[in-house]
């Protein structure tokens, strides 16, 4: 009979400028874009928090060995166990600052023989509070509380059938724009969906200076959230990537976006010493939008190269338990809501394991009236928190 370990979570990522943490940040960002390419479907709205999945697998990675460990290193872009966990611990501590709220917990059946070293890893490096594993209601209440009601049900009784451990991490993000849109200036406007339909949306408008970049196929803008006053516009931002008229969102998503996105986050050296951080005078038109997504990621992660972890004959989690464990399920839920005042977002994932058997530029009108990609980032540490796309709306 299968013995499952479930790992529900909901959180987001941040990093620091220290060398080791920056490496973890860069690896998460690479994983974030690759995972989004897997979950993206044309003509469908999507939102994920790649860091929540990354975070869950960081602890599972701590219990892996052999080829399972090597595959997880490849997919997560990690180097080794020795440096990964302490660096991630520092990273996670940096995350938990308003407007980001993070909490972790481990729910364990008392008699299941997990190695004490694995449980110590969870407590020391992942701040896991350990609770007795009872039922889905207790876990869902914990997740709902930590995400301020944004994720109300993550696991079911069926998910917990024969479960021996549940690892949870909860995230809630609620950011106000540094420059709020004026509600009275929101108007109805056309949005041209990916299916060539035209729908009416509530379009917000603002004139201000924003970080802006473009190339031959796309352009992007960074919209700052309210934060401490500094050389940065704010601690967090939303990046909108919009295809140019002759390009589709689908073609953009399946390209390497990292270098393009990085242009919106100049280094400290360029911002402070060289003064090359540029802001452009923009007229921004952005639709109000909301999105909810619910995924099972086993097949996608396997296709990314993490196949052994899901294979009853090949999985190797000997650092977790002497019993032969495999991952049986990976669930992920996320939501985002964007309006004139700011953004509210959260995410939750579940991994089940079981015994195997600037300078002013000319005015730019950045009109988001067609399918677009969006990211929520920590700008000080250059970390992707959420990734999503909006391709369609329901007409008024």
CATH number of residue 61's parent domain: 3.30.497.10
Same domain, yes or no: 74 and 155: yes
Residue 264 lies in a domain: yes
Whether residue 268 has pLDDT greater than 50:
no
* CB contact at 8 A, 41 and 201: no
In a domain, 370, yes or no: yes
- 375 and 350, same domain (yes or no): no
CATH of residue 379: 2.30.39.10
- Distance from CA of residue 326 to its chain's centroid? 24
Region 200-206: what's the mean pLDDT?
96
Q: What percent of the chain has pLDDT over 70?
A: 86
- Residue 231, pLDDT above cutoff 60: no
Give the Cα-Cα-Cα angle 304, 308, 311 (nearest 5 degrees). Answer: 120
In the predicted model, is pLDDT for residue 360 greater than 70?
A: no
254 and 338 belong to one structural domain: no
94 and 164 fall within a common domain: yes
Task: Give just the sign of the alpha carbon dihedral 192, 285, 226, 339.
Answer: negative
- Give residue 261's pLDDT: 86
What is the Cα 101 distance to its own chain's centre? 14
Q: Between these two residues, 70 and 262, which has the higher pLDDT value? A: 70
- In the block, tokens 């996320």 appear at 334
Residue 304: the pLDDT is 97
CA angle 149, 150, 153 (to 5 degrees): 80
- Give the chain's domain count: 2
* pLDDT tier for residue 180 given thresholds of 50, 70 and 90: very high
- Distances 141 to 11, 37, 170, 196, 337 between C-alpha atoms, Å: 16, 31, 11, 42, 22
Q: pTM to 2 decimals?
A: 0.86
The answer, yes or no, to whether residue 178 has pLDDT greater than 50, is yes
**Are 119 and 148 in the same domain?**
yes
Q: Are residues 90 and 222 in the same domain?
A: no
Helices (H) and strands (E) in the chain, counts: 10, 16
Q: Is 197 found in the same domain as 281?
A: yes
In sequence order, which residues have a C-beta less than 8 Å from that of residue 314 and are 6 or more positions away? Answer: 67, 68, 307, 308
Neighbours of 311 (CB within 10 A): 14
Residue 342 falls within a domain, yes or no?
Answer: yes
What does R_g of the chain's alpha carbons equal in angstroms?
A: 21
Domain range holding 199? Answer: 183-288+360-390
Same domain for 365 and 264: yes
More confident residue, 78 or 93: 78
CA distance 11 to 154: 14
CB distance 361 to 371 below 8 Å: no
Q: Is the pLDDT of residue 16 over 60?
A: no
Same domain, yes or no: 31 and 136:
yes
Pair (81, 129) in one structural domain = yes
Tell me if 395 is assigned to some domain. no
* Residue 290 tokens, joined: 């909301």
| pLDDT above 90 as % of the chain | 42
| Same domain as 172, residue 58 | yes
68 in any annotated domain: yes
Q: Which helix (H) or strand (E) holds 386?
A: strand 383-390
Helices 81-95 and 50-62 pack at an angle, to 10 degrees, of 140
Quick one: 280 and 338 in the same domain? no
**Read out DSSP for 216-230?**
SSEEEEEEEBP---S
Core vs surface per residue 49-76: b (16+ CB within 10 A) or e: bbbbbbbbbbbbbbbbeeebbebbbebb
The pLDDT assigned to 355 comes to 67
**Whether the Cβ atoms of residue 323 and residue 3 lie closer than 8 Å to each other:** yes
Is the pLDDT at 6 greater than 80? The verdict is no
320 domain residue, yes or no: yes
**Domain membership flag for residue 396:** no
Distance of CA 50 to the CA centre of its chain: 3
**Closest alpha carbon to 64 in 321, 278, 295:** 321
Return the bridge partners of 289, or none.
338
What mean pLDDT is reported for the chain? 83
Mean predicted confidence (pLDDT) in 94-108? 78
Q: Is the pLDDT of residue 393 over 50?
A: yes
């Amino acid at each position: 009979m299968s013995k499952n370990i479930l790992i529900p979570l909901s959180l987001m990522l941040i990093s620091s400028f220290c060398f080791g943490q920056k490496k973890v940040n860069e690896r998460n960002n690479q994983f974030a874009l690759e995972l989004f390419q897997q979950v993206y479907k044309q003509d469908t709205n999507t939102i994920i928090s790649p860091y929540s999945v990354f975070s869950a697998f960081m602890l599972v990675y701590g219990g892996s060995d052999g080829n399972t460990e090597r595959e997880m290193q490849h997919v997560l872009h990690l180097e080794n166990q020795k440096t990964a966990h302490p660096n991630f611990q520092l990273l996670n501590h940096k995350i938990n600052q308003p407007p980001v709220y993070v909490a972790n917990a481990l729910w364990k059946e008392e008699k299941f023989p997990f190695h004490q070293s694995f449980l110590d890893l969870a407590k020391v490096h992942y701040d896991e509070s350990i609770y007795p594993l009872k039922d889905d209601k207790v876990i869902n209440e914990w997740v709902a509380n930590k995400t301020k009601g944004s994720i109300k049900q993550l696991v079911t009784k069926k998910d917990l059938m024969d479960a021996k451990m549940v690892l949870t991490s909860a995230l809630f993000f609620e950011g106000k724009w540094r420059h709020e849109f004026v509600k009275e200036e929101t108007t109805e406007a056309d949005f041209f969906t990916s299916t060539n339909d035209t729908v009416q949306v509530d379009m917000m408008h603002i004139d201000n200076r924003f970080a802006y970049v473009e190339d031959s196929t796309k352009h992007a803008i960074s919209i700052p959230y309210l934060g401490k006053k500094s050389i940065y516009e704010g601690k967090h931002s939303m990046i909108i990537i919009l295809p140019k008229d002759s390009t589709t969102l689908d073609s953009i998503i399946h390209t390497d976006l990292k270098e393009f996105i990085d242009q919106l986050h100049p280094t400290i050296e360029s911002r402070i010493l060289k003064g090359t951080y540029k802001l452009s005078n923009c007229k921004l038109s952005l639709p109000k939008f909301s999105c909810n997504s619910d995924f099972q990621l086993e097949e996608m992660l396997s296709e990314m190269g993490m196949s052994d972890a899901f294979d009853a004959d090949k999985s190797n989690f000997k650092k977790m338990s002497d019993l032969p464990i495999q991952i049986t399920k990976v669930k992920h839920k996320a939501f985002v809501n964007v309006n004139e005042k700011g953004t509210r977002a959260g995410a939750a994932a579940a991994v089940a394991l079981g015994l195997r058997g600037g300078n002013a530029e000319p005015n730019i009108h950045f009109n988001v009236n067609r399918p677009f990609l969006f990211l929520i980032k920590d700008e000080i540490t250059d970390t992707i928190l959420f990734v999503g796309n909006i391709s369609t709306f329901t007409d008024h």
